[in-house]
Chain A
């Protein structure tokens, strides 16, 4: 069930929301979160019921291991507890590896050795990367903090809560559990209205911009798989994808945040105007922020982070980015994308080091602060666009054909992909991404205003705002359905 589908917006969401309101009135304190847990598992099963048992087994296993890591339950030695943790993490990764990477590994082995290998075609359970990572983080924290979650109902909801289950944000249990378990059982209207605002904003990003430029990006990348395409076509396609992925994923994240707010839950922010970044380091602080946080806390820092000198830091950084790339998908192009960003980060750190050691360079940059900032932004954006080519292309041949078109102008065909409408959408998308405040900046302010307005009991006005938002959401869903309700890009990861 997609957030932009009619069945989700017009049927599933109202039923779950009203059911939640009713559940809050029941005497059982956790009826609300139990209802949301059941509804979330239904949401997951609607896509493919065959994978519900896998999700349930994963939840039971990790909850059980979490309980085992509680010293009050099992008073074992630190070494034994660490062993249990390592085994549990390995099992989680093994399941992820089987479902996501088996095909890639087998075919790569065959390609490297020349041995004929069978085609391994394992259907990827949707959201497996997200719920596996969420639970690995939980286990590590349970082991380190020795405070694993006791409430099974809350744990189920933490993993399955439908706004984040399929494509994140990647949650940290410490920021979610208190919200699920708080005593406050009244749903605040202002928060729900802020949620509708976020949802409408995310839906607009997805439907009006991302879906409008997606066909151009798809055409360009598909063509590039078979032949070099022209300069204009390749830039048109790569910029279309640059716009598409930002508005698609940040739109999804806004919708997820909005949906959670409808139930009084705040999810962490995932984007902070990444295309306005003036360095790759800054870009990674603003792009898919919850994944960056996860990779930092559970991979980069455990690897040693920057604690063992600059050389080791570079290795750790590169390893983190390579694995981060691989996390996105079972293809070597994702690894190259991650590696490219690892390289960018190393260049970025080297440049910073150079500036720190060179007072004349510092003075030069200070004297020309505005042009320097512009050049820094332009270089960062260009580097990101080039890296997206590897992220989107289906093969290295496709990436090479597109990059050759972008930088060498080689082409065997002029497919004339550009059309005025898509050019306008790309231009609008880029201008918004470069110059406009992001939805969090816009809506947090608006949300606060709304909160203050709705503290006074003015039901008619509350209804006017909700009715307006629902009208806009309905219109956007109808437009989305007319496109054929496109999936979100990150559903594939």
Chain B
């Protein structure tokens, strides 16, 4: 570009650039619509469904794929409640409630390889009702326990707790329960969903947008994030944190009308990357750093065990398996969720802890 270039030339060049970009965007949109881009996993609007807490669109086919090259394609369907399950939940069924976030929701698995599917296969006639929803945290698990405990009769419950579940519980995510400010008055509160305009709804359906948000897992914050090591800032749990956790442990089984002994808490608080490093190199990937979240989850684990709940520390389960076989337990590096090997190990451990299964577990399937 010569420094004496005219304004009109610049404007024409700009018009050319925008035209090219628009045409390429259209070509890419068409191409992505043909390819198995993530599709159909939008949340149900509470304004049309009448359900305030977050669900996927009910009775809806969806496609899930991993990363920029769309590997590991899954095609599945939600049930009538908007959870990922091949069957509708029946009030008369004997069931295990499965609470958690995306690890439980399991968009990335065929049903047979998901935790719910693995449990279904091992529980005989008893059913695993999957209430997992992506982005959820501890308060939402309690919220779902209340909602579903009022609706179904559970024989047991499994709650999968992942790292940052305490801290993320303070975030306001629409349709999800969060920690209420004063745990003495109310432990959790539901963040109402916002009704989206038709323009936003159309934009969210664009294959390009779905590809960037779901396949590439990008947000504006992530695109411009710096990848510096954050210094460890040790934290302590406040009296309010401790009260909140104690209330939580008391309310969770009660919300589902269960004895604490019939609740299995699965703590997935470490990362598999740390586990691999520890086993392969014999050293920690990074120095231990006690954050409010890690302290809270440790306290929750202690309180849960003390109340009689069964506790599974996932690292203790996965590490011996990895040490022996050295096979990946997740979809790293693209996705850190459990793969089918890990769900099988977790399911086997849960069923072992729930045994002996109640006699009515052999009742006919709903």
Please report A residues at the B interface, Cβ cutoff 8 Å.
6-7, 10-11, 21, 24-25, 185-189, 192, 212, 215, 219, 222-223, 225-227, 413-416, 421, 457, 459-468, 470-472, 475, 478-479, 481-485
> Which residues on B sit within 8 Å (CB–CB) of A468?
20-21, 24
Contacts A222-B280, A223-B280 known; A467 to B21 CB distance under 8 Å?
yes
Is residue B284 within 8 Å, beta carbon to beta carbon, of the partner chain?
A: no
A186 to B17, CA, bound (A): 22
Number of A-B contacts (CB under 8 A): 120
Is residue B200 within 8 Å, beta carbon to beta carbon, of the partner chain?
A: no
Contacts A225-B280, A467-B19 known; A462 to B217 CB distance under 8 Å?
no
Q: Which B residues from 281 to 306 make CB contacts under 8 A with A?
A: 281-282
Task: Return the contact of A187 from the options B3, B279, B282, B332 (Cβ within 8 A).
Answer: B3
Is residue B247 within 8 Å, beta carbon to beta carbon, of the partner chain?
A: no
| A467-B18 in contact (CB<8A) | yes
A461 to B19, CA, bound (A): 10
Task: Return the contact of B13 from the options A219, A460, A483 (Cβ within 8 A).
Answer: A460
Contact with A along B1-45 (1 / 0, CB 8 A): 111100011101111111111001100100000000000000000
Determine, out of B52-60, B64-72, B141-149, B349-357, the stretch whose residues face the partner at the interface: B64-72
> Which residues on A sit within 8 Å (CB–CB) of B15?
460, 463
Closest CB in chain B relative to A85 CB, distance in Å: 40
Determine, out of B76-84, B85-93, B222-230, the stretch whose residues face the partner at the interface: B222-230
29 chain-A/chain-B pairs, Cβ below 8 angstroms:
A10-B224, A185-B3, A187-B2, A188-B2, A219-B328, A222-B280, A223-B280, A413-B325, A416-B327, A459-B13, A460-B12, A463-B13, A463-B16, A464-B16, A464-B17, A465-B16, A465-B20, A466-B20, A467-B16, A467-B19, A470-B21, A471-B20, A471-B21, A472-B24, A478-B212, A481-B218, A481-B222, A482-B67, A482-B68
Closest CB in chain A relative to B285 CB, distance in Å: 11
Closest CB in chain A relative to B280 CB, distance in Å: 5
Among B14, B18, B333, max chain A CB count under 10 A is at B333
Is residue B360 within 8 Å, beta carbon to beta carbon, of the partner chain?
A: no
| B280-A226 in contact (CB<8A) | yes
Closest A residue by C-beta to B332: A215
| A462-B16 in contact (CB<8A) | yes
> Which residues on B sit within 8 Å (CB–CB) of A25?
3
> Which residues on A sit within 8 Å (CB–CB) of B13?
459-460, 462-463, 466
| B19-A464 in contact (CB<8A) | yes
> Which residues on B sit within 8 Å (CB–CB) of A485?
227
Closest A residue by C-beta to B19: A464
> Which residues on A sit within 8 Å (CB–CB) of B8?
459
| B1-A460 in contact (CB<8A) | no
> Which residues on A sit within 8 Å (CB–CB) of B154?
none
Is residue B326 within 8 Å, beta carbon to beta carbon, of the partner chain?
A: yes
Main secondary structure of the interface of B (DSSP, over half): helix
Closest B residue by C-beta to A483: B333
> Which residues on B sit within 8 Å (CB–CB) of A470?
17, 21
A293 to B88, CA, bound (A): 70
Closest B residue by C-beta to A461: B16
Closest A residue by C-beta to B220: A6
Closest CB in chain B relative to A265 CB, distance in Å: 16
Contacts A471-B25, A479-B216 known; A459 to B10 CB distance under 8 Å?
yes
Is residue B103 within 8 Å, beta carbon to beta carbon, of the partner chain?
A: no
Closest CB in chain B relative to A261 CB, distance in Å: 13
Closest B residue by C-beta to A2: B227
Closest A residue by C-beta to B223: A6
Using A462-B16, A468-B20 as known contacts, list a sample of 13 further A-B pairs with CB atoms less than 8 Å apart, ordered by residue number in A.
A6-B224, A21-B3, A24-B3, A189-B2, A222-B276, A222-B277, A457-B9, A459-B10, A459-B12, A467-B18, A467-B21, A471-B21, A484-B333
Contacts A185-B3, A463-B14, A464-B20 known; A421 to B9 CB distance under 8 Å?
no
A471 to B20, CA, bound (A): 8
Closest CB in chain B relative to A392 CB, distance in Å: 15
Closest CB in chain A relative to B11 CB, distance in Å: 8
> Which residues on A sit within 8 Å (CB–CB) of B332?
215
> Which residues on A sit within 8 Å (CB–CB) of B224?
6-7, 10-11
| A482-B24 in contact (CB<8A) | no
| B1-A225 in contact (CB<8A) | no
Closest A residue by C-beta to B28: A475
| B1-A21 in contact (CB<8A) | yes
Closest A residue by C-beta to B6: A459
Contact with A along B205-219 (1 / 0, CB 8 A): 000000010011110
| A478-B218 in contact (CB<8A) | yes
> Which residues on A sit within 8 Å (CB–CB) of B328?
219
Closest B residue by C-beta to A474: B21
Contacts A466-B13, A483-B333 known; A415 to B325 CB distance under 8 Å?
yes
A212 to B215, CA, bound (A): 15
A421 to B212, CA, bound (A): 20
Closest A residue by C-beta to B25: A471
Among B13, B14, B224, max chain A CB count under 10 A is at B13
| B20-A467 in contact (CB<8A) | yes
Closest CB in chain A relative to B329 CB, distance in Å: 12
| B69-A212 in contact (CB<8A) | yes
Task: Return the contact of A226 from the options B282, B327, B333 (Cβ within 8 A).
Answer: B282
Task: Return the contact of B217 from the options A227, A421, A457, A482 (Cβ within 8 A).
Answer: A482
| B216-A421 in contact (CB<8A) | no
| A463-B218 in contact (CB<8A) | no
A472 to B17, CA, bound (A): 12
> Which residues on B sit within 8 Å (CB–CB) of A24?
3
> Which residues on B sit within 8 Å (CB–CB) of A479?
68, 216
